[in-house]
Chains A and B, each alone.
Chain A
Amino acid sequence: MTDSTSVKTAEEAAAATSEAGAQPSEQPALELDCRGLACPLPILKTKKAMDGLAVGQLLKMVATDPGSVPDVAAFSRRTGHEVVSQSEGGGEFVFVIRKV
């Protein structure tokens, strides 16, 4: 589900995030599909994906495990990354996390 045309360069993403807060137009640098995966795979894959991003870039992660809601929050508190947005619909949980 990763759209290669939406992948930004680190410079572009850093420029976009130099303004405070999340910009509505800001596109995730990477999309990660964790649907159907159980604990702890969504967190392990999220960590790996975050490691590949530049500071300031966004990761969009989609999961179906309801446990990923408290777990992504805990992951972000421990690692310092920022959950920019979080939504739920149709049994799917969508997180947008900024690398800090």
Chain B
Amino acid sequence: MSGNGNPKRLALIASKGTLDWAYPPFILASTGAALEMDVAVFFTFYGLPLLMKDLKAKVSPHSNPAMPMKMPFGPPGFQNFSWPIPNVLSGNVPGFETFATKMMKKTFAKKGVATIEQLREACVESGVRLIGCQMTMDVFGFKAEDFIEGTEIGGAATFLEFAADADVSLFI
């Protein structure tokens, strides 16, 4: 497959379900597949909802105290300005998450960044193995039919069997 011999193997664990943290596993998985690597992503705990048909990932400033707040409109100087919104405010004002999510989606779209749905679709199309954690399903009450087509259900051993021969393994 690759110019350097056997296909390389990329094993990722996606453990976080916010909009910002949904990006790294889907970017790396889709790009790994584009680089003709064999890729598997294990979605566990808060990462599991990223496989749901109806993706509802939001960004939470609460757990990202260093997150810059940017405005998706106005002149470049205004857009590049990081708004000094205190964490105590961003974490406690009702509706702030919805607001921050809207702002992030708009900013990303303006900068030509793919949506999570697009990247996830690219993963499915390119044959990335998307493994949903059975235990997390049981704990949070998800059903197999909640997830997108092609989702494989498995446990730690299913992931580790693949990861044991991986060239790159990342916990995200």
Question: Which A residues fall within an 8 A CB radius of B?
Answer: 36-41, 43-44, 46-47, 65, 74-75, 77-80, 100
Chain A residue nearest in CB terms to B1: A79
A64 to chain B, nearest CB (A): 8
Residue ID in chain A nearest B3 by CB atoms: A80
Contacting residue for B112 out of A37, A44, A47, A75, CB 8 A: A37
Q: Is the CB of A78 within 8 A of B113?
A: no
Binding site for A on B (CB under 8 A): 2-4, 8, 27, 30-31, 33-37, 111-114, 119, 122, 126
Across the A-B interface, how many residue pairs have beta carbons closer than 8 Å? 50
Minimum CB–CB distance from B103 to chain A (whole Å) comes to: 17
Given A37-B112, A38-B111, A41-B114, A79:B30 Cβ within 8 A? no
Q: Are A77 and B27 interface neighbours, CB within 8 A? A: no
Decide: A75 near B34, CB < 8 A? Known: A36-B112, A41-B112.
Answer: yes
In contact, A38 and B113 (Cβ under 8 angstroms): yes
Q: Which of B2, B111, B114, B119 contacts A78 (CB under 8 A)?
A: B2
What A residues does B126 contact at CB under 8 A? 47
Using known A-B contacts A36-B112, A38-B111, A38-B113, determine if residue A77 contacts B31 with beta carbons closer than 8 Å.
no
Interface of chain B, main secondary structure: loop
Give the docked Cα–Cα distance between A83 and B122 (Å).
Answer: 24
- Flag if B3 contacts A43 (CB, 8 Å): no
* Contact of B3 with A75 in the complex, beta carbons under 8 Å: no
Residue of A at shortest CB range from B111? Answer: A38
Q: Are A78 and B36 in contact (CB under 8 A)?
A: yes
- Select from chain B the residue with minimum beta-carbon distance to A76: B3
Indicate if the CB atoms of B2 and A65 lie closer than 8 Å. Answer: no
A80 to B35, CA, bound (A): 10
Contacts of A39 in B (CB 8 A): 27
> Which chain A positions have C-beta within 8 A of B114?
37-38, 40-41, 44
User: In the complex, which residues of chain B have a beta carbon less than 8 angstroms from the beta carbon of A80?
Assistant: 2-3
A41 to chain B, nearest CB (A): 5
The CA-CA distance from A75 to B156 in the complex, in Å, is 31
Known: A78-B4, A79-B36, A80-B3. A43 touches B112 (CB 8 A): no
A80–chain B nearest beta-carbon distance, Å: 3
Q: How far is the CA of A93 from the CA of B138 in the complex (A)?
A: 49
Could you say which residues of chain B place their CB within 8 Å of the CB of A47? Answer: 33-35, 126
24 A-B pairs with C-beta separation under 8 A = A36-B112, A37-B112, A37-B114, A38-B111, A40-B27, A40-B31, A40-B34, A41-B112, A41-B113, A43-B31, A43-B34, A44-B30, A44-B114, A44-B122, A46-B34, A47-B34, A74-B35, A75-B35, A78-B4, A78-B8, A78-B35, A78-B36, A79-B35, A79-B36
